[in-house]
Structure 1
């Protein structure tokens, strides 16, 4: 691969390719799953209620994630006036920044050609589109992981560069208040320390710098304090029981406890290696039979660059493997490190595969072009194929049938709140006995309606007095009023319902 352009033109072309591949169809997309609906709704509710420290979901505190991602969506919504666009912009920016960082690190660690290859490998991987085209935290987390990785590599392998080390520490801090695992780049210090101790080449030794190293922890804590310090002060001075419970939930249960004893997405230890990597790290995994022996040879030569990068990838995979809770997107942070350590071997692989097979080389190039073109086209096809969100259609139908009257939601999902076109009432997303509570509430609110699932309707209501909502593939739902009460349900708990209404049209 001969490079005839200047490094600046190379970088601009790669950034353009990243923007086109990740951003294809971005103006046509809308929230299409509960994660996207949740994060967009929380961000819009922040804009409406002005509470930036404690996220809310239909007036109920949302305790699962720190707020930085939602802040970013709210900011882009304010700047663009288009929530459906704002939801996907953080991941698009992360994809462009990651591409730039991989190119620059490849160029500095090896040469310009390796930088180009590293960026292209990242953009060619299936999981890149699976994560970065979604409006989810993991795409945004990629930004902070990559900045952390970039700063650590500049310092540990190309340094000393204390400024970049502190950038990495700040990025990890912001990553933590995006999603708790934002600290992952610090794991790079483990293989780095081993390489320094054993005298491996390619790593920078920095003896007698203990104070400078510890300052990095202070920088990370300062980044975390951007949110945590105002939160603690607010809860201490003005907090109620719910806000104090939120602090405990977000700092303890949703971090260490969730990692050690996950209550969702439980999978066996081999899940990533047998069900995720073979599919989501295509086409990279196809080269592993040649790459593993090559890495072994590089490690036998004590190449510290390979040890630090490959060791970090292994540690990230091990970290997520040890947790009982696993989702396919969890291991995405390891991908930039993997492509960076793969890139130097690609020219050797291509020569080995195609030196005596010029026709096969042309087929390979054709397949690569088709692969990129197919992902670009998919960005426009998917929004058209998905069409209208089923929960959006459901809530539009409900608003028409109830003429905008107050609506009690039971066993609801994020999209029902996000797309609500009328005032809604609920007792909490995970509350017990929701149908019974709805029946009791309707007795005091005879002009209101409740939305009840089909399998719970007969418990508290007369089916012949319920109105079925047209099927939008969002489950089978019925609308009822107080007149449909069968008198069998009497919920005497002292639960106070949450009330919420969007003040302005937003979607």
Structure 2
């Protein structure tokens, strides 16, 4: 039934392009044992990305960074029923729109408040993007390019790892990628329906990460229209129904939040958007970097496929017809985010992830053209990628945990270089397109094998990177009715503690920048001074979670009394001994 449905969809798409005058290319000859070419494409484009994005979602606890913050906001939404103004540790948190929290809350409602349920939103959205890349290329006559784009995007190890974390950027990448693919389809076949779907997905992207989605989508489309020199394309953008969908879907929450939360308009629109881009946002809790900050990160993002970027050099000239237009769009979808985030003062390693859909589709198209005959550059790229994938399998887990001696790493690097040289020769000996396709698939499978130990290492680092074991100490302590407090540090140290305890934890003498807005405007005592903590301690026994390095500082301020301590790595739980 599924196979017949996919065949029907493919046939319909060919008829549509024939009516519109587009070039139709039949599926390539790729096949797996027991499957036809079309079924093999579908199987590979679905199964491999599913493994990369869904494997190991529960292999390690939530981490004490942004992941802990966002998962806790979703948990508090479920607990309080307040889905308009997000709350973190009991106080308002309005740095970002709520779509990620809504989806995480829905996932945890269905599957329970677990790390895997929270991470399923990031992983599921990236899986949907991979499938969308395949289906888009397939609808426009190049199923082989779709497989390469889908599998290449999923098997890039940094991308797969980021998709295992509760973050806004995987969801933004998927929504913005889907929006741009719908727009490009509407441009190629003059479909207003596709343009309205693009507007809907763009509105969801705005609800995920705010105005940056509008800037990225608008800038990409504008650069594309400039590259193809199409004046009529500007007019087709102004579809009243599409504009209405965008304003309605994206605007309702912003209006409701502005009415419900004092101070929202300035903090969200000016501080979080304009001043963040200019580097004047307060508090200054983001990373900075030079203009070339994202160039090495672009190379790292595609590992082990990074060498294939050499194929994008303009030596071959522009592709003809529809493929050339798609390539132009992919260039715009890659270059504009790179320019935008390079100019922004606020930087993060994963921001450029939004360039992945255009880059993956561009590479897929180029590979589909080059695999028809032996190609020395493709062979060299494949050999180096094979070596990088092998190096990731054997060295990345140890390097990730800091346990690989430099001589061992050098030996592994030399072995990877030897494998690269051998791989180039091996690739050139493949005489059929099918054999070369299977060689590319081998790199993806080796990358999949490398993902397994990386997830295991992340689990082993749980005592350092998460507060799950701190929560277990508190839950297992006799007299569990004690009031629990955190001293000073929250994000990057104890942000997962409220999630694992199932309740907000008051912060004493807060040094948190993420809670600054909420603590200044919230009436309930979630952010306490030292004097307020002393009064709370006088009312009953307490437990205080503190970094070990701050323990003496806290004990000097807490006042007289005896304390009993338990350690978890660099974290300490102090029990009021009464």
Query: Structure 1 residue runs of 4+, over 6 Å off?
Result: 299-302
Q: Matched residue of 1:442: which SS?
A: helix
1:333 corresponds, among 344, 354, 369, to 354
C-alpha distance 189-387 of structure 1, shift in aligned 2 (>3 A): closer
Q: In structure 2, which of residues 445, 456, 472 is the aligned counterpart of residue 396 of structure 1?
A: 472
- CA distance in 1: counterparts of 2:92 and 2:558, whole angstroms: 30
Distance 2:531 2:225 in 1: 63
* 1:226 Cα deviation from its structure 2 partner: 4.1
User: SS in structure 2 opposite 1:97?
Assistant: helix
What's the counterpart of residue 228 of structure 1?
254
Structure 2 residue 269 is the aligned partner of structure 1 residue 248: no
Answering whether residue 571 of structure 2 is matched by residue 475 of structure 1, we say yes
Q: Quick one: distance in 1 between partners of 2:503 and 2:126?
A: 37
* Residue matched to 2:456: 381
Give the corresponding residue for 1:346. Answer: 367
Check whether the contact 1:166–1:219 (CA below 8 A) recurs between aligned residues.
Answer: yes
Whether contact under 8 Å (1:291, 1:345) holds in the other structure is: yes
Q: Does the Cα contact within 8 Å between 1:11 and 1:100 map onto a contact in 2?
A: no
Q: Report the counterpart of residue 268 of structure 1 in structure 2.
A: 290
Give me the TM-score of the superposition, normalised by structure 1. 0.81
- Counting matched residue pairs gives 464
Partner in structure 2 of residue 281 of structure 1: 302
Residue 289 of structure 1 and its aligned partner are, at CA, apart by 3.2
- The match for 2:171 is 140
Match of 2:68 in 1: 37
Does 2:30 correspond to 1:3?
yes
Q: Distance in 2 between matches of 1:86 and 1:173?
A: 24
Cα distance between partner residues in 1 of 2:501 and 2:362: 48
Q: Distance in 2 between matches of 1:316 and 1:207?
A: 20
Q: Please give the per-residue CA displacement for 1:338-390, whole angstroms capped at 9, x wherever unaligned.
A: 11112122145552124994465679558515523324524752464345664
8 A contact 2:155–2:448 mirrored in 1: no
Give the superposition deviation at 1:438: 2.7
Which of 91-100 and 330-339 deviates more? 91-100
Deviations 1:311-354 (A, max 9, x none): 22101111111111111110001011011112122145552124
Secondary structure of 1:25's aligned partner:
coil
Q: Matches of 1:166 and 1:44 in 2, distance apart?
A: 33
- For structure 1, which segment, 297-306 or 441-450, has the greater mean C-alpha deviation from structure 2 after superposition? 297-306
Distance 1:314 1:426 in 2: 43
Cα distance in 1, alignment partners of residues 267 and 429 from structure 2? 55
Three-state SS of the structure 1 residue aligned to 2:467 is: helix
Distance 1:423 1:121 in 2: 41
Match of 1:368 among 443, 457, 460: 443
Q: Residues 148 and 9 (structure 1 numbering): CA distance in 2 closer, same or farther, change over 3 Å?
A: same
The worse-fitting range, judged by mean Cα deviation, of 40-49 and 28-37 is 28-37
Aligned residues of 2:61 and 2:459 also touching (Cα < 8 A) = no
Tell me if the contact between 2:468 and 2:496 (Cα under 8 Å) persists in the aligned partners. Answer: yes
> Which residue among 87, 104, 109 is the counterpart of 1:73?
104
Could you tell me whether the CA contact under 8 Å between 1:66 and 1:250 is conserved in 2?
no
Of the candidates 144, 150, 154, which is equivalent to residue 185 of structure 2? Answer: 154
Q: Distance in 2 between matches of 1:166 and 1:146?
A: 15
Q: TM-score, normalised by structure 2?
A: 0.72
1:60 aligned to 2:91? Answer: yes
Which of 440, 449, 458 pairs up with 2:542? Answer: 449
Structure 1 gaps of 5+ residues are: 200-204, 484-507
Tell whether 2:530 aligns with 1:438.
yes
Out of 208, 214, 218, the residue aligned to residue 186 of structure 1 is: 218
Is the contact made by 1:95 and 1:132 (CA closer than 8 Å) also made in structure 2?
yes
**Partner Cα separation in structure 1 for residue 291 and residue 368 of structure 2:** 34
Q: Does 1:425 align with 2:425?
A: no
Relative to structure 1, the CA distance from residue 39 to residue 7 in structure 2 (aligned partners, 3 Å threshold; closer, same or farther) is same
> Any unmatched runs of 5+ in structure 2?
1-27, 381-423, 431-435, 520-525
What is the RMSD computed on CA atoms of the aligned residues?
Answer: 3.4
Q: Is the 8 A contact 1:63 1:250 kept in 2?
A: yes
Change (3 A) 1:225 1:9: farther
Distance in 2, Cα, partners of 1:101 & 1:308 = 16
C-alpha change, 1:375 and 1:23, in structure 2 (3 Å) is: farther
Alpha-carbon displacement from aligned partner over 1:61-116 (angstroms, at most 9, x marks no partner): 11221111111111111122353232111122212211121112223445221222
Q: Structure 2 vs 1, CA of residues 95 and 186 (structure 1 numbering), >3 Å: closer, same or farther? A: same
Q: 1:208 to 1:66 in 2, by over 3 A?
A: closer
| Structure 1 residue 51 displacement after superposition | 0.6
In the alignment, which residue of structure 1 is the partner of 2:13? none
Residue by residue, what CA displacement relative to the aligned partner does 1:193-243 show, whole Å, maximum 9, x if unpaired?
2245369xxxxx55864752x5433321111124223334xx2xxx4xxx2
Deviation for aligned residue 1:57:
1.4
Residue 287 of structure 1: how far off its partner (Å)? 2.4
How many Å separate the matches in 1 of 2:445 and 2:246? 43
Question: Relative to structure 1, is the Cα distance of residues 471 and 410 closer, same or farther in structure 2, using a 3 angstrom cutoff?
Answer: same
What corresponds to 1:503 in structure 2?
none
Specify the SS of the correspondent of 2:171: helix
Contact 2:223 2:336 in 1 (8 A): no
d(CA) in 2 for partners of 1:435, 1:311? 46
